[in-house]
Each structure stands twice: as C-alpha cells, then as structure tokens.
Structure 1
C-alpha cells in the first residue's frame, strides 16, 4: 500500500477529490498596497512643500474660491470643500476647526472651541470664517500654482499651494498611516523667521518647539525632532498662598479637564494629598489646588509632576511626503527645504513680474510710436486685413530700434484695437511717464533677482514686522530636575511589624505600628542576629525573627548613620562600629557582623543626622574581672564601611549595654549648591555654592516684590524667577534696601534684620506701585546716585552714599529715611566698603571622616577604644 497517497484511496468504490491550495494574491495584494499608499499620501502625512495634508489644502483652496472679504458660514465652506475632498463633512469640519484653533491662517468668528479646556466648537452652521491677511499673503498665487483635476474631474485643485513660509513647523502635524506615523511639533512664528533668515545668510540655527498651551519644556533630548527624540513638558505650577497651589499653564496635549481628572485619581490612590480643587479657567488657565494643613507645597508640586499629567513626555517623529514618498527628516532639514522652496517661489514670482513689466513696457512703447507717428492713418486706404497688418508693420519699422524684442502679429492686432477716443486724448508726456515708471519697476525687479537672498531676507523681515505682534514664545525652555517618585509620594499607608515572628507589612494591623509610608517605599530591617535586608513595602513579608529596627529606606542616604555593638560568635569578643547604608540589592540578606554562628547585636541605634551617643557597658562577673562597668563614646569611632569588623570593646562577656547620654552630629556640615538652570538646591556640586549648612542653618530669600524670608535648606524646595537674593542666612547681618514709596512718591533707605524667621515679611510699602530698587546683604554697602538734570541748571555730580552711615538698623516694618529730595535718573549699587566681622571662637566637635580599614582590626585592651592604625587608608565620606 502506498501510504504517501492513502488520502486519495477509493472510498465505497469512489476516488476522493484532491485538496487544492489556492493562494490569495493578485488583486488583494495590490489593493492593500494601494490602500496603504492612499492613506500615507492622501490622508495622514503632510507634504514638505506647503506643510498641508490634502484635506487642509483643499479647505484653504475652497476658502480662497469663496473669498470676498466677508465671513462665510463654516458649513458653506465645508460643503464647498466636498467638491475637492472625497470624504464626509464631519472630517472636513473637524480639520477646519483644528486649523482655526491654531490662530494663523483662519480669521474665526463664533465659538471655535477651547484648546485649554477641551470644549468642542459649535456646529458648522453657527460659526464663520474667512482667510487671515497672513494666509492671503503667503499661501496663494495662481501663477505659481500647479493644478490637477479633482477626484471627479469636474474641478481643478492645486497639487501644492505656493506657501512662502515654513508653515509645517509653525502649525505642527500629527497623523497615523499604515505602517508609519508622523508627529511634528509646533514651533514659534518669530523663531522660524529668524532661523530662515540665518539659513539664507549661511548661518547655523537651532529650533525648539513652542506650544499654544504654553507651559514649560525640557528640550535636552529633542534630537532635532527626529526618531528617538523626546520632549518633557510640564504645567506651570506656583504657590498661590501658604496652602494653595495655582496651575496657570498646562502641558501640550492635555486639557484642564484631563489634568484635573489625573490629579483627582492620584489623590484617590494616595499619591498626593489635596483638600479640594477648583477650575476657574476662562480665557486663561487657572486651576487652584487647596492643600490640607501641614502638607508641603513644594513636595506636592513635585508629586504632581511625578504622578499626574502635569508632566508628560512627547516623542516627535518628522515624517513628510517628498516626491510622493514618505521621508523622515529633522526640523532643521525641514526648515532648510521650506526656506529654499520659498526662495525659489520668490524668484519665480519676480521672473513672472519681470516678464509682465517688460510686456507692458513693450506695448506702451509700441502704442506711443503708433499714435505719436500717426501710423494709424496708414490703414485708412487698406481694403484687406492683411493690408492693414502690413501697413502698420511697415510704419513701425523705422521707430523700433530700441525695443527689446521683435514685433509679432499679436502686437499689431492689439494696436488695431485701440479706440479712436483714446487716440484723440493721447498725452505724450503721460505716456512717457508711464514708460519711465515701468522702466523703474523693471530695474527694481532685476535688482531683486540679482540680489535674491537679500530680497528674501527683507521678505521674511516684513512678515515678522507685519504679523509678529502677539506671537512671542509661550513655552518656557528650561532644564527639568529628575523627580524620584519615592521621595515625593505621600505616605498613604501604615507599616506594622511583628518582631518575634519576623513579619513586616501594611496588613498587620493587630501588631506594632512602625511609621507612615507610601506604597512605593523600600523598608530597611535589622535583626538581632546581625542580618540586614531592604525590601519593598507589601501587605506581609517575612524578613527574619527578632527584628530590632524597621524604617523607610532612603537610597543614597549618607547622613543616616547606624551605631552598633555586636558579639562575634557565641563566645567571641564584642566589637563596635559605625556605618551608613547607601546602596544595596533589594531582598538580599546582608551581615553587619562577621557572619559567625550565634553572633548577636548587643546595642543598636539609627541616627538620621550622624549623632554619636555615649553608652555604658556592663560586664558579667566571671573570674577575676575588676572593672565591670565602663563607658564608650561613639564619637570616638570613625564612620566606616558596612563590612568592616569594627574595633574591640571587650573580650569578656557583656551583661548589657545602656544609653547614658544622647549624642550630637559628628558629620561635616552639608555643602549645598543652587542650580539656576533647574531652580533647585543640590549636594552634587551643580551651580553656585551657597555654603556649608548645619542642622539649624537657614537660607535667606529676598524676592523682587520686596518680601524677605528664611527657610530650611530642603532639597525638595522649588524656587521661582522672582528671587533676587538667595544665600546662607547670617542672623546678625543687616539687610539694606532702597525702595520707591508710591504713596509719598520718594525713594527711601532702610536697614533691618529678619525678626521672624518662619514668616514672610514685606519690607517695602504695600501700595501696588511701590517697588524695590535695590537690595544688599553686605555689611557696608554703597550706592551711587545719578541725578536728573534740572531745566536751566548745570548737571549735578553723582553722589556716593554709604548706607551703613546713612541709617541705623531699624525694625523690618520701619519706613526708613528719605534717600534724597532731588530727582534721580538712576541708582547703582557699588562695591561695598571692606569689612571684617568679629569672629567669636566656638568650641566645635571633631568632625569624623569615613575610613576604610582591614577587617582584622587588632584587639584592644579591656575597656579601651582607639582609632585604626596609621597604615590604613582613609577616604572622606561626607563632602557635602
């Protein structure tokens, strides 16, 4: 039997039909390719020449067809566009609203929706539109337009509009096609013109997005708008008052509605904590967020960026149609192509105008010759049309030597069409003036053609002058600081511990409460046998029995120092050590002892600012031990690595260890910098060094509106552009200010100290027109007064005022002394007088540095603690 063909064996005496595999090819394959090509070329991706998708181009062409200077109903424009666009009225209406909301090409009237709130436009029958003056100037020129038949062959439509402006980058474009997409972000009108001018002049330029919703953008990774780039965008959030935040600008791609929904969702999940939210948006965005008492506004702002759509990320992708093919380009190349195309169109326009002027000059010259030399009389005796043409041709020949081209029969026919009335009223002088005016125009056009780049530059400059009003940049470009979600998440859950059984978690509500935490925190745990672990917050996690310490773990935290004494093995010596935990592998078990069996922690403390306490060690009475109690000061120990063995406390059995005296920090003061690019404090040596700060030190802040305050230097604090003084606060150092008192219309000087460090103090007049002229925190500042020249008097010489001598230190609410009775032109702050403040010696603790030591630290005598030997290398741990 042929097993290979057994499927075809007879069944009941009949042969079974063979199965046939039919491949679906041909028209299905072609149809899909045709569909994909159609979507890419005719629907989703804009052309690089004019920046339009077909639907937008057809809308503009229809509006030009209907243009009579008056508004048209949008429904009428949509219906007219359907003669060119083979799709429904809804898609055309939506596309038209998108153009109108960009406020560049369409002069809109009525309710066109709101890009800020997401409200839709009214129905097309209720709203009206006409082309803007800008659109009429840069979009249309029938003489430069290439035409094609519309989809039904009844009309002609432009292949591309002769756009003489980088419109694609000004409006941006988004589209999803078959197998590809495009997302070109909008750019600033003025900056595009400036970039075009730079390109024409052969200079380099850079372009960055500018969004109609304003907000803030970090374009560090923009990558010229190409694949792989990224733009981070944020809402503009400020502190309205002590317990209120105000959102006044929103990220591109969001609306106030979606933004508020994301905030409420984050609040419901416990990521942020708000009391209520109000949307007062009308013409401008105003969302007020009310915070509960004791909630940090700065931390809440960071949390809004971390957990809501107040911060988004956009990935641009510059895909355009070139020669009927999709091509990926960066915004620099798109602008260069657009500018070069504009230059080409301007050249074509000049050449057309030159031809027209030369034709006008040619016929005006012929007309003058024809009438001035009475050649029209030569045709009176002619009986045939050919004779008329020949007579005129013969009559013109003696007078045409200066013409720029030969005379054609068409020229002669035009001469025969001149009316007798016009011949009778012909004025030779006016005719000559017209010819001369045409010659001037011809010379001007030729000059522009010879200096085409200069002509294009002046064209762009005119566009900027005529249409640039109100088109300044809306989106602020700045660097964003990276916000760690774990640091700004609200503590929305509670952590519990069962020390004996070794469980921690948020569901152990019957056990011991540890702390509030967030559901994205890490937790650090120490157990009595010397094990340490860091694990994620969860409902219930086993970490090891005999838990002695549980806390929220802060990554890269160099200031939390752990002090401990442990017994090495069952009967081994006791050791003392101090260390920080800065980096770990989550859920991995670490030994803080030497790992011997039956090792035990005898004393443990966690110190958030490196405190070093004094403890009393009690020994067991074994043999002939004489000294059963002695004290150990952790301040005598260096801060070392987590794995070091430590220094010997005693080789005898320890009965117990008790705390005798609370300690103070042994860490160096933190060195803090201010990074102006992101307006944040840091300890990473970025920006300007503000100084070294101990626990009680504060920052002095003075703003342009005349408010002075001090704050603790928290790294989460946000600063705005109004700050004019930011430095370490010296409480006894006076602040000097010169301000304009609007009620008295005079300049005043005052010197004062901060009286209430925890309160914002206004130190200038509260009149709305009062303003701060200058402020100084120098001990002896000097100001130069430049006087206004009085009428009929000599110019008074500039005067230098020593402010320390001018006025004594008074209260912050004092008015101060009048600066001068003369009118001032300018006040300049000069270099201060040198001053050496008195240095009061203070007794300071010795600052400890981290030291890397061998694990086999030598034994010490009973009760003795000493530092590691000189041969061991030392490295600093806390430079900040």
Structure 2
C-alpha cells in the first residue's frame, strides 16, 4: 500500500493516526540478533574450542600472568576491556572454566560440582593459568589478531590451541534457533585417539564425566543429534537396610538427586525410611530402608523413578567459518588433530626462520670481526660511505651465506660495541654457529617428519599432564529396568464383581491385592471376555467379574485354565492359555464368539499348575455317564484365541475342583549376562541352570562371604563375586585361606546351613584373605613354595582337599595347610566323581513354555481321568472359581 493511499484512507476516516510497517526492520534486526547470539555468545569455535567470553578470559589471564595468583575480580575487570558485557557473566564463565580443572589453577572456594554449591564472590577467590594452559594454548607468533570491540586493544581471533580442548572440557549453550551440547571426554583417551588418527588407524570416542558414575554409551551416535547416553549413580548395599550412593550422574547434584528420591518416596514409587547426605570431597548419600524392603528392588526403583538414572542427549554444534556446523566427535577430533599438526608446522617454520636469521648474523659478525672489516670505516666521513665500505669489505667472504647481505644487516654490524669486538673469541663464535646449524638441521628434520613429530608432541602431553586423569566413568551396558516390577505397591485394588467395577477407591467392596498407579490389571468376566486396563480410582470393565489381578507383560508362566459353554445351548469346551501381549482397553472374546456363551470354570495359575476337576451333567434323555474327571494336565497350552477341546455336547450341571495340581511347565532356565551383571531368562550370557520354586543360587565373593538367594531377575551382584552357580545343599564348599592373625594357611570344607544368610568363612582379621575356593566334589590344589636363600626350592605339593579335611561347620578354623612359606596356590582339575542320581527334570515335564502360541484344537478324547502319580505330588498356587 502506497503512502498516498494510506493518507487518503486516514483523511476519509477522519483519523490522525499513522501506520508504520516494521516487517523489514524486524526481519533484519532479528537475524542480526540471532547471528550475534550464535556466533558471539553461545556456540564454541571448532578451531580452539572456546566461546568468545572464554577466549577473552584466557587472553586476559595471559596478559596478567606473572606466575602468581590474581584475584578473579581483577581478571574479570581486565576481561571487560575485550568483552562487551557485564562482570557477572564473565565471572560465571570463569568459574565454569575453573571447575573443569584443566586450564585454570584455582585457589579458594570455587564451588562444588557434586553438591551444586556456588563459588565464593570473585573478590575472594584467585586464579592463575595452569602449566598445561601455558603449554598448549598460547603462542603469539602464530596467533591471528583483531581489534577489540572499542578498537583500543587487540584480541586473538582464535587462540592457537594444540589439543582437542573442546572435547576434553565439553561445551553447552542455547542460542536462537539452535543449541549445542558437547559432552566431556577423557584426557588420555583423546590423546590416544589423536595418535591413532595420525597413524591412520580407526578410533572410537565416548564421554567421561567428572562426576564419575556408570554410563551406557550404546546409543551415543558419535555425539550427533539423535544420540543418547544413559548415566547412572553408583549404588551399593552397605547392609540389608542401607544403600550407599557414592557417585552421581553427570548433570545432577547431590541436592537435586536427594530431592528426586524424596519426591519418588512421597508419590509411593519407592519406600525409604530416611536419607542422609554425608558428601564432602567425595559423594556419600546413605539411603535407609524400612524392614522388609528389598535392597535390590529399591536400587532398580531408584534408577526407574529418580535422578539416579538420567538420559543425556548430545548435540555436536560448533562455529566454523562464521557459520554453525553440526559435526560428530570423531570428526571434531580429526579436525582438531589436523589443526594441531598445522600449528606445529607453523611453529617449526617460524623457529626455522629465527634460527637461520641467527645463523646468518652470527656468520656475518664473525666475518666482520675476524677479517677486521670494521677498520675499513675509519676514514669514512659519511654514513653512506660507512655502509658502502662495510658492504665492499664483506663481499669476498659472503659466498657461503644462505641469503644476500642487506643494508639492515650492515646497520646491525655497526651497532656492535668495541668491547665485544675486543673480547671476540673465534672458537666460541664457531661453536655458536655449529649449535645453530644443529638446531636448524633438527627443525628441518621435524618438518620433513611432521607426523612423527606431532605424535611425539601428543605423547609428551600425555606423559607430562596425564597423571591423575584416568577414566572416571565406568562404561557398561544397562539392562532396562521394568518399572512395574520394582515399583512399591502401596495402593489397594478393589473389585465389585456383580456391577463390574475395579479400582482403588472402592474401599467398601472386595479387596483384590496391592498395586501401584503404573500397573495394568487384567479382568475376566463370566461371559468369556477379557480386558487389560490401567489402574484407576474406578473403572467399568463388564458385569459379573470372575477374575482380576495385576497384569504382567510377556508372562509365559501364568497359565489360565478355562471351561466354557459355546452359545446358549451349545457344547462345552476346555482350553489352557497364557496372555503375553494385548492392546490396552480392548475387549477380547475367549469363547467361540457365539452369543450367550458362559464360563463354567476358570483358574489362574502362576506357575502353570494343572488341577483335576469333576464334570457333572444334568439328567436328560438317555445320557449314561453323568459324572467324570477332567485333568487339565492332559490339555496342551495354546493361544488365547483357540477354540479348545470338546468336553461335552450336553448341558453341564456344575464343575467341582477335585484336587490341586503341580506345574506343567519346565523348570525355568536362568542365564547370567556378565555384560550387564544381571540374571535373565532370555538366553543371554552363561547358563546357570534350571530352577524350580525351591531352588537357590550360591554366591561366593573374593572377600570370603557366602550366601544363597532365590534367583530373582532384579538381583544386583557385587563386583568381587567369584562363584555364581545353582546351589546343591549337600555339595560341600572347599577353601584355602590365609589367616592374618596366625599368619598361616588353612584348609576348610563346609556346608551352608543357614539359607539366605550371608556369612563369612574366613577370619575377620584385616590381613586375612581367600586364596582359592572350589565347589567341586573332589577338588585338587597345587601349592608352590617360596625359595629360601641358600636352599633348593621345595617341590610343589598336590593336595586332595577331600582327604585333607573332613566337612566341618562354616565357622571352624580348619586344618593348617603347611608351616613352610608359600609362594602361590592354584586349583587343579578335580578328581572324577559321580554325584547321586536324581530324577531328570525332563521326566517331570508335561509341556514346554515354547508351545504357548499354538491355536489348533486337540483331540478331546484325552480329557479323561488318567492323572499320573507324578502329577498328584505337590500343591498348586492357582485358585479355581466354580460357577
């Protein structure tokens, strides 16, 4: 719209207001602001790894550097000559640099990254450049300079950093329209990676955090967008009622961690008694548990519901050629290393030029004095004549010089003092020239072998500064924590069976079980429908509920036994099935789909139990058999959609439970995955064995502790565990240990008498230690003796531990092994032994878990009373309901 048209409109409307378009101005100004924030504030440069404020702080510290500490307030004030912002932003940036403990040598209270405590005011704390910073960050001769913001001083465009500093320190910033999050990496690993790159080898980089912790780097994705790092606190069990958090995840503090634990406790996700923060130089948070709460489940719950596990999403964004550039950490390191090589080359070339210039003038000086050319100027009366005379006198001797003699060279010769000429020593002058020639040759050799020189440079950095910079964060693959398995179930679930409601607010109705607000519940109704829904205060699921329970995903061991009538007057069928996966809030019809179907009998069996029921028919017509038994063990487990086996085509009067049954599933196979240090039933790692309900695991640690536990998949294991196997109660444990008090080696054999109790089987002296332990029936040990001075070494002794000592109590001292000094004890192959024969597990099995997915019908003729004695033994946890 033109201005003339605007004015005419205003005149017609009688308005005196004017309209000013700001579109172009807004667009330009916003773009300028966005560019400024990206380039000058938030994102580091790839060349030196610094943001502008950090670069200006480092430059100011170099300006002020005299080897002594400076007040941070003084450094901040000096930095304001280069940085056009307030002192608070500069001080904060400097504290962050100082806390990374690499470039700045700090003194005073600089805060605590573990607790989140802030640093003292800048007038109270002091700083100076570290030796590492002076070594790798500065070289004015190869630095490019620019005018400061007010033009009064000059500042570096980029500092000549000869180290992958950005990856070592990490960097984080939020700009306009983009952000960056580069995680810190290990100092030594970065140097090793740089050396590998220079040698043409492949390398891999993963973060290392100053707060330590445990991290899963599987999805790191080279630090690019879409990557993820899972970091966990290090939690250990001090005793059965106390957990200790000794390391925290990166990005958290002890305060935020404790707050998240208290919040989870208030919401009922976990249950703790109290929490205590003893953090000083090292993290120590004590979590006290109420009696009866599982420490292993609580550890998993802490990972699932608190900041004891955090997920960090890296995003590699840097400034290159005044533009944002998204790049992975591998490419960052390559570019940094290549940049270091070029900086080293420039440094060598400058040094070579300086040496050659020194050699040139030293040679000229020697010619000038040795040939007494200075006498040629005695009769000259003008400056031009002096220059000409010296030039003429030098010409016969300058053939071996590396460049032509200039007037500036001659002027420098005229500035030599008479005293120096009179004390000139030809031999010393030649020695100086020879030394310079050696330095020139050395520099030329380095330039000719620049890669080898660069590798030596990185290895020197590692030697000089790598001490104490070993990896802090442990790399481990995490096993996902199933929140539903570790949440504390502190809410009660109720059911109104007739009206069809379930929920936590129906306190006047029938109590079902304890649950949590993240649980799913599974419901079966008398018309043969099934639904899974989330726990809520009150939910309608269908009238005439016959079974309700907390639903476990992928549960193959809970088997449902069901007899139903198909339609109003149709035949009755029997089926067994598991429910492993569903769509939440969807109704599933478990019958054949005909209207007015009804469930006669239903039971839920947590371990696949198969009971025997009695079928009673109504008297009608010429039916001869009105009563018979049906054994669910004869029915194959199939999918929930299967029709089932025919029971009878006649009307059923009622069904009665005759006797409970035993499990028809195989013993559960359990594996131990050493990578994640967890038990599993998925076939990962080493097979531990097949376990029934009463079977236990045997655990022995290097510290001489032994215990048996029920094999729960949530169990955590100590790092010094040396034995993990299925426990055979009558199988003895043999051990040789050193008693610190008696300073002797002892042999003992014992059985575990207290199931579930952790006991020590070596003496509690601080010097006592376990040498070997064996769970073989007939273990053999080899004893190597120490050679005594002036004597031949005593031959090794083989010890049959079974014959050496009888089985005694776990607290017995044992028998002394020998009085001679021992150098080493090692286990040999055990003697052959046939343990007592047991009934193979296969002979007790009826059906395998792998058959749960079948859908075909089976022949109903098997539904007869032929239950074996094996299946009559034992009881069932499943509860049947009769209708």
Above 0.5 in TM-score?
yes
Name the CA shift for 1:622/1:127 in 2 (closer, same or farther; >3 Å): same
- Structure 2 residue aligned with 1:486: 484
After superposition, residues 72-91 of structure 1 pair within 5 angstroms as 72-91=70-89
Contact 1:74 1:125 in 2 (8 A): yes
- Structure 1 residue aligned with 2:588: 590
Separation (CA, whole Å) in 2 of partners of 1:173 and 1:10: 56
Residue 228 of structure 1, aligned match among 218, 226, 229 = 226
Contact 1:650 1:860 in 2 (8 A): no
Q: Which moved more, 1:524-533 or 1:594-603?
A: 594-603
Residue 777 of structure 1, aligned match among 770, 775, 778 = 775
Separation (CA, whole Å) in 1 of partners of 2:434 and 2:373: 23
SS at match of 1:815: coil
Residue 433 of structure 1, aligned match among 424, 431, 444 = 431
User: 1:567-599, CA deviations, whole angstroms, 9 ceiling, x for partnerless residues?
Assistant: 333333333222111112222222223233333
- Structure 1 residue aligned with 2:540: 542
- Structure 2 residue aligned with 1:604: 602
- Structure 2 residue aligned with 1:743: 741
SS at match of 1:381: coil
- Structure 1 residue aligned with 2:676: 678
SS at match of 2:347: helix
Note if 1:202 corresponds to 2:200. yes
SS at match of 2:643: coil
Q: CA deviation at 1:361?
A: 1.6
Note if 1:819 corresponds to 2:825. no
User: 1:719-767, CA deviations, whole angstroms, 9 ceiling, x for partnerless residues?
Assistant: 2322111111122222222222222223322222222121011112212
Separation (CA, whole Å) in 2 of partners of 1:648 and 1:391: 128
Contact 1:148 1:156 in 2 (8 A): yes
Note if 1:419 corresponds to 2:417. yes
Residue 145 of structure 1, aligned match among 143, 146, 160 = 143
Residue 239 of structure 1, aligned match among 212, 237, 240 = 237
Q: CA deviation at 1:290?
A: 0.9
- Structure 1 residue aligned with 2:612: 614
Name the CA shift for 1:395/1:253 in 2 (closer, same or farther; >3 Å): same
Note if 1:183 corresponds to 2:181. yes
Separation (CA, whole Å) in 2 of partners of 1:429 and 1:738: 75
- Structure 2 residue aligned with 1:404: 402
Q: Which moved more, 1:195-204 or 1:605-614?
A: 605-614
Name the CA shift for 1:490/1:610 in 2 (closer, same or farther; >3 Å): same
SS at match of 1:616: strand
User: 1:66-90, CA deviations, whole angstroms, 9 ceiling, x for partnerless residues?
Assistant: 1111100000000000000000000
User: 1:115-144, CA deviations, whole angstroms, 9 ceiling, x for partnerless residues?
Assistant: 111100000000000000000100101101
SS at match of 1:826: strand
After superposition, residues 516-555 of structure 1 pair within 5 angstroms as 516-555=514-553
Note if 1:807 corresponds to 2:805. yes
Name the CA shift for 1:15/1:94 in 2 (closer, same or farther; >3 Å): closer
Separation (CA, whole Å) in 1 of partners of 2:321 and 2:6: 55
After superposition, residues 235-314 of structure 1 pair within 5 angstroms as 235-314=233-312
Q: CA deviation at 1:540?
A: 1.0
- Structure 2 residue aligned with 1:103: 101
SS at match of 1:392: helix
Name the CA shift for 1:857/1:835 in 2 (closer, same or farther; >3 Å): closer
Q: Which moved more, 1:644-653 or 1:578-587?
A: 644-653
Separation (CA, whole Å) in 2 of partners of 1:487 and 1:748: 44
- Structure 2 residue aligned with 1:876: none
User: 1:433-478, CA deviations, whole angstroms, 9 ceiling, x for partnerless residues?
Assistant: 2222222211211111111111111111111111111111111111
Separation (CA, whole Å) in 1 of partners of 2:570 and 2:865: 17
Contact 2:218 2:229 in 1 (8 A): yes
User: 1:14-67, CA deviations, whole angstroms, 9 ceiling, x for partnerless residues?
Assistant: 787899975424443322222111111110111111000000000000001111
- Structure 2 residue aligned with 1:370: 368
Separation (CA, whole Å) in 2 of partners of 1:34 and 1:10: 35
Name the CA shift for 1:79/1:616 in 2 (closer, same or farther; >3 Å): same
SS at match of 1:584: coil
Contact 1:492 1:519 in 2 (8 A): no
- Structure 2 residue aligned with 1:845: 844
Name the CA shift for 1:364/1:854 in 2 (closer, same or farther; >3 Å): closer
TM-score normalised by structure 1 residue count: 0.94
Over aligned residues, Cα RMSD in angstroms? 2.5
Contact 1:747 1:818 in 2 (8 A): yes
Q: CA deviation at 1:682?
A: 1.1
- Structure 2 residue aligned with 1:870: none
User: 1:97-130, CA deviations, whole angstroms, 9 ceiling, x for partnerless residues?
Assistant: 0000000000000000001111000000000000
SS at match of 2:706: strand
Q: Which moved more, 1:590-599 or 1:727-736?
A: 590-599
User: 1:395-416, CA deviations, whole angstroms, 9 ceiling, x for partnerless residues?
Assistant: 3233333222222222222222
SS at match of 1:122: coil
SS at match of 1:350: helix
Residue 728 of structure 1, aligned match among 720, 726, 729 = 726
Contact 1:8 1:15 in 2 (8 A): no
SS at match of 1:615: strand
SS at match of 1:288: strand
Q: CA deviation at 1:853?
A: 6.8
Separation (CA, whole Å) in 1 of partners of 2:837 and 2:863: 43
* Structure 2 residue ranges without an equivalent (≥5): 869-883
- Structure 2 residue aligned with 1:442: 440
Contact 1:219 1:477 in 2 (8 A): yes
SS at match of 2:642: coil
Q: How many residues align?
A: 861
Residue 162 of structure 2, aligned match among 156, 161, 164 = 164
Name the CA shift for 1:783/1:565 in 2 (closer, same or farther; >3 Å): same
User: 1:337-357, CA deviations, whole angstroms, 9 ceiling, x for partnerless residues?
Assistant: 100110111111111111111
Separation (CA, whole Å) in 1 of partners of 2:295 and 2:13: 86
Separation (CA, whole Å) in 2 of partners of 1:506 and 1:854: 36
Contact 1:650 1:862 in 2 (8 A): no
Q: CA deviation at 1:9?
A: 12
SS at match of 2:303: helix
Separation (CA, whole Å) in 2 of partners of 1:415 and 1:866: 119
Name the CA shift for 1:608/1:83 in 2 (closer, same or farther; >3 Å): same
Separation (CA, whole Å) in 1 of partners of 2:411 and 2:482: 84
Separation (CA, whole Å) in 2 of partners of 1:322 and 1:659: 78
Separation (CA, whole Å) in 1 of partners of 2:218 and 2:540: 44
- Structure 1 residue aligned with 2:879: none
Separation (CA, whole Å) in 1 of partners of 2:586 and 2:428: 100
Residue 37 of structure 2, aligned match among 20, 36, 39 = 39
Separation (CA, whole Å) in 2 of partners of 1:857 and 1:437: 99
After superposition, residues 708-723 of structure 1 pair within 5 angstroms as 708-723=706-721
Separation (CA, whole Å) in 2 of partners of 1:9 and 1:333: 62
User: 1:411-436, CA deviations, whole angstroms, 9 ceiling, x for partnerless residues?
Assistant: 22222222222222222222222222
Name the CA shift for 1:840/1:306 in 2 (closer, same or farther; >3 Å): closer
Contact 2:628 2:865 in 1 (8 A): no
Separation (CA, whole Å) in 2 of partners of 1:362 and 1:796: 74
Name the CA shift for 1:851/1:215 in 2 (closer, same or farther; >3 Å): closer
Name the CA shift for 1:302/1:364 in 2 (closer, same or farther; >3 Å): same
SS at match of 2:653: strand
Residue 511 of structure 1, aligned match among 504, 509, 512 = 509
- Structure 1 residue aligned with 2:337: 339
Q: Which moved more, 1:828-837 or 1:254-263?
A: 828-837
Separation (CA, whole Å) in 2 of partners of 1:731 and 1:583: 38
Q: CA deviation at 1:854?
A: 6.6
User: 1:516-565, CA deviations, whole angstroms, 9 ceiling, x for partnerless residues?
Assistant: 10011111111222222111111111112221111111111110111222
TM-score normalised by structure 2 residue count: 0.93
Q: CA deviation at 1:385?
A: 1.9
- Structure 2 residue aligned with 1:116: 114
SS at match of 1:49: coil
Separation (CA, whole Å) in 1 of partners of 2:357 and 2:857: 104
Separation (CA, whole Å) in 2 of partners of 1:274 and 1:166: 44
